[in-house]
Amino acid sequence: MERRARQSNIELLRIFAMLIIIGHHFALYGGLGDCTEVYFVNRVWIQFLMISGKLGVSLFVLISGFFLIKMPKLRMEKLIKLWLQVFFWSVLAYVVYCVIVRYAGNADVFRFPELVKNCFPIVNQHWWFASTYFVLYLFSPFLNRYLLSLDKTDFQRLLILMSVCWCLIPTLLGRTFECNHLLWFFYLYSLAAYIRLYGVEEAVPCSGVGCAIGAILLAFAVLFCIDRVKIIYLNMTNYRTGYDYLMGESGEQRLMLLIMAVSLLLFVGFLKISIRTNRIINTISSATFGIYLIHDNQYIRSILWYLINRGKEYSMRPVFIPYSVGVMAAVFIACMLIELMRIQILEKHYLKAVKRIGRLVENRLDSSRLME
């Protein structure tokens, strides 16, 4: 039921979200956050890339909340499949890293305790998003029961309270106010659930194109203001204070309201865009989570960005934006092909066993519930 509900417009949004997450890592690991003396357009583009990671993650959680709110119970098949995927890339990435380092003539870096640690990537949080999403999925049936028990007015009050605590206060004060990744995911999940239950028009009454244009204009308007702030403080003794206010350690909190608004507008915009079911789009989209696991693995990224990232060198040139987009596309395509190979060579063959085990566990849980 979940797969049939997902249309190619949402799958296209997944692809877009993963592309901008790659763009964020391109800027982050390339040290572009400190670049100020570059062309104005390049500066604004760098600032967009720096916040696009949070934006892309928010889009993925919104998509999950939109579909999972209709899920009556936990699907063990999906949970096992997710765990196996994360386990595979965690172990393989460590082994490949050890082989490459050894082949390069360096000392043997393989350590058995480290291998054991990589066998439990969810618990050890090798990917913060994967671990947080795994927990979110575990809690989703209980979260659904709570959200579905609310009437429309109480649901709206809940969203307002969450927005004040975890969007407005952080934006004004630069503090998390008792929030973390999991609570932020719960908030986005609830937003998407409201849209699914009460309709897109109820949430954002404008066209899909209007939502997309509004999101782009809002994002770059704020980024333009950030750029002006950085320039004003550039030659002043308290420049660092002005920089940190919007883009430093506390800057991520200052932008929470912007990130929520832009991600929500983009999400609703793609919902309203009508696209026929496209097999190519859906196939590419099926690899997006694997693309994340590959390119942002702690071992792979230390090699990947060292080899291909020359962002600082190109940041002073007019071709910087085309160059960065090319790097993002290259990383996306390479990781996509690798992940699709894994799906065809491995996952396709063990998927039946996973489904069988998932059904057995679900039946056992259902029978124990009936006995109670």
pLDDT given for residue 206 in this prediction: 65
pLDDT given for residue 14 in this prediction: 95
Q: Choose the most confident range, by mean pLDDT, from 24-28, 148-152, 198-202, 305-309.
A: 148-152
How far is the C-alpha of 280 from the C-alpha of 287, rounded, in Å?
Answer: 11
Span 291-315, average pLDDT = 85
pLDDT given for residue 85 in this prediction: 96
The number of beta carbons lying within 10 Å of the beta carbon of residue 313 is 11
Counts of helices then strands in the chain (DSSP H, E): 20, 0
Residue 261 has pLDDT above 60, yes or no: yes
pLDDT given for residue 237 in this prediction: 44
How much of the chain, in percent, has pLDDT values that exceed 90? 44
pLDDT given for residue 315 in this prediction: 78
Look at the alpha carbons of 63, 67, 72, 73 in this order and tell me if their dihedral is positive or negative: negative
Average pLDDT, the chain: 83
Phi-psi region of 178 (alpha: psi -120 to 50; beta: other; left: phi over 0): left
Residue 255 has pLDDT above 80, yes or no: no
Residue 41 has pLDDT above 90, yes or no: no
Residue 294 has pLDDT above 90, yes or no: yes
Span 342-359, average pLDDT = 90
pLDDT given for residue 40 in this prediction: 74
Q: With DSSP H G I counted as helix, E B as strand and the rest as coil, what are the percentages for the chain, rounded to 5?
A: 80, 0, 20
Q: Provide DSSP, 15-83.
A: HHHHHHHHHHHHHHHTTGGG--SS-HHHHHHHHHHHHHHHHHHHHHHHHHHHHHTT--S--HHHHHHHH
Q: pLDDT tens digits, residue range 93-139?
A: 999 999 888 887 777 788 899 999 999 999 999 999 999 999 999 99
Q: Which stretch of 11-20, 120-129, 345-354 has the lowest confidence by average pLDDT?
A: 345-354
pLDDT given for residue 42 in this prediction: 82
pLDDT given for residue 226 in this prediction: 61
Q: Which stretch of 186-190, 209-213, 287-291 has the lowest confidence by average pLDDT?
A: 209-213
If one counts the domains in the chain, the total is 1
- pTM of the predicted model, to two decimals? 0.88
pLDDT given for residue 274 in this prediction: 80
Q: pLDDT tens digits, residue range 208-252?
A: 666 667 777 777 766 666 655 555 444 444 444 444 444 444 446
Q: What is the span of the domain harbouring residue 355?
A: 2-371
Residue 46 has pLDDT above 90, yes or no: no
Token duo for residue 281: 């789009």
Residue 168 has pLDDT above 90, yes or no: no
> Phi then psi for 273, rounded to 5 degrees?
-80, 125
